[in-house]
Amino acid sequence: MLRVFGPDCSAAPIDAGSTTALPEGAIWIDLLEPTKEEEALAEKLVGTNIPTRAELAEIEPSSRLYQRTGAAFLTMSVLFGINEGHPDSDPIGFILTDQYLVSIRYVDPKPFVVFAEYAYAEPDIASDPNTLFVRLLDAIVDRLADEFEVAGKDIESISHQIFQRRTHRGKSPERRLEALLMRIGKAQQLLARLRETSVSSARLLTFLQTTDAMEADPSNRRHIKSLVADAQALNDHSNFLGDNLIFLLDASLGLISLEQNDVMKIFSIFAVVFMPPTLIAGIYGMNFEHMPELKWLFGYPFALTLILASAVLPFLYARRKGWL
């Protein structure tokens, strides 16, 4: 799908087969899962090649951030799929020229949806590609900060769940701990994608400051400088959340070890409790000829009392020591 933004631009997608020129005032060309015809049209209008998806997926900085023939080519990873419960990131490419901003993407993340609606509602928000691009990046960083807040609250909720005082033992602690580990895993998955996006954003913004277009635009360059500081602050915050999540994972594994130790302790105590009665029953189960208790009138009650006492006394001792 190919859409254009700017004064007097329609919100309807452009038919690449019947269009030869952009509307007057168009400054942003947005390619969402473009076809070959749409890529060819955009290349013709902009005068430069459109990066393919394979080129966008390259991770080395020299392939993601560079200038060529008067245009800046920039690629960043953007988060998507949070509302669906499957957070992921995908590279989005930008081409910044004197006349146009071109975006090439194969996903539709929330910042693009919101900013596109705002751009159609307020077509005069930016009069040039540089200002439009900076405001779009501002929306992406702002949305990223919101997602970091959500992740932080989720990690805080996990912390409360781990360390809350329990007045009684649950019927199935292993199920609770399993669910806890699943929550930690999902939080780590989201945090990894957030960190990838924040690092990618910081790299793009740092490079954008040095481009020829921004060198001659002090106002937007100051805005970018503040966005760089925001992105770096988000990187520091992601490190803090990552350390906190590692601590919570270690605490959860410690709780699992405690649960296992409790089970083994109970089995050990019961083994000790039943060992003396078993020994006594084994002795009186021997069919030796000379056992005086076998012919004693109170021999049987005596043996039962001895078995009971040998079981109760270790149990009471364990209770007194707090082992049970």
Structurally, the chain folds into a number of domains equal to 2
Same domain? For 210 and 309 the reply is no
242 and 279 fall within a common domain? no
Q: What is the pLDDT of residues 276-297, one digit of tens each?
A: 888 888 877 776 667 777 777 7
Distance, CA of 136 to CA of 129 (rounded, Å): 10
CA distance 144 to 286: 78
Contact 4, 26 (CB under 8 A): yes
Give the model's pLDDT for residue 255. Answer: 80
The answer on 127 and 57 residing in a single domain is: yes
User: What gap in Å lies between CA 175 and CA 235, rounded to an integer?
Assistant: 34
* Distance from C-alpha of 171 to C-alpha of 165, rounded to nearest angstrom: 16
* Residue from 271, 277, 280, 269 nearest 320 by CA: 269
- Grade residue 170 by pLDDT with cuts at 50, 70 and 90: low
In this structure, the answer to whether residues 305 and 167 fall within a common structural domain is no
Of 210, 235, 260, which one is at a domain's C-terminal end?
A: 260
CATH number, position 231: 3.30.460.20
Rg (CA), the chain: 35
pLDDT tens-digit profile of 90-120? 899 999 888 888 999 998 888 888 888 887 7
Same domain, 244 and 284: no
Same domain, yes or no, for 91 and 225? yes
Which of 240, 260, 280 delimits the end of a domain? 260
Q: Which CATH number do you get for residue 299? A: 1.20.58.340
Last residue of a domain, one of 211, 240, 260: 260
3-state secondary structure of 37: helix
Query: 243 and 291: one domain?
Result: no
Q: Is 51 helix (H, G, I), strand (E, B) or coil?
A: coil
Tens digit of each residue's pLDDT (9 = 90 or more) over 214-235: 877 788 888 999 999 999 999 9
Whether residues 219 and 76 share a domain: the answer is: yes
Token pair, residue 152, equals: 């932080």
Decide if 96 contacts 28 (C-beta within 8 A).
no
Between 173-209 and 129-163, two packed helices, what is the crossing angle to 10 degrees? Answer: 160
Closest CA relative to residue 300, chosen from 280, 315, 322, 321: 280
Query: What is the amino acid identity at position 143?
Result: R
pLDDT in tens, 183-217: 888 899 889 999 989 999 999 999 988 888 787 77
In this prediction, residue 236 carries a pLDDT of: 92
- What burial class does residue 123 get, using C-beta atoms within 10 Å of its C-beta: 0-12 exposed, 13-18 middle, 19+ buried? middle
* Pairing outcome for strands 101-105 and 65-68: unpaired
Structural tokens at position 304: 């039962």
Same domain, 49 and 173: yes
Q: Write down the H helix ranges in 68-128.
A: 110-121
Spatial separation of the C-alpha atoms in residues 191 and 185, rounded to whole Å: 10
Distance CA 125, CA 25 (A): 13
- Same domain? For 121 and 158 the reply is yes
* 98 and 146 together in one domain: yes
Residues 313 and 233 in one domain: no
Confidence of residue 169 (pLDDT cuts 50, 70, 90): low
- Per the structure, the complete domain to which residue 243 belongs is given by 2-260
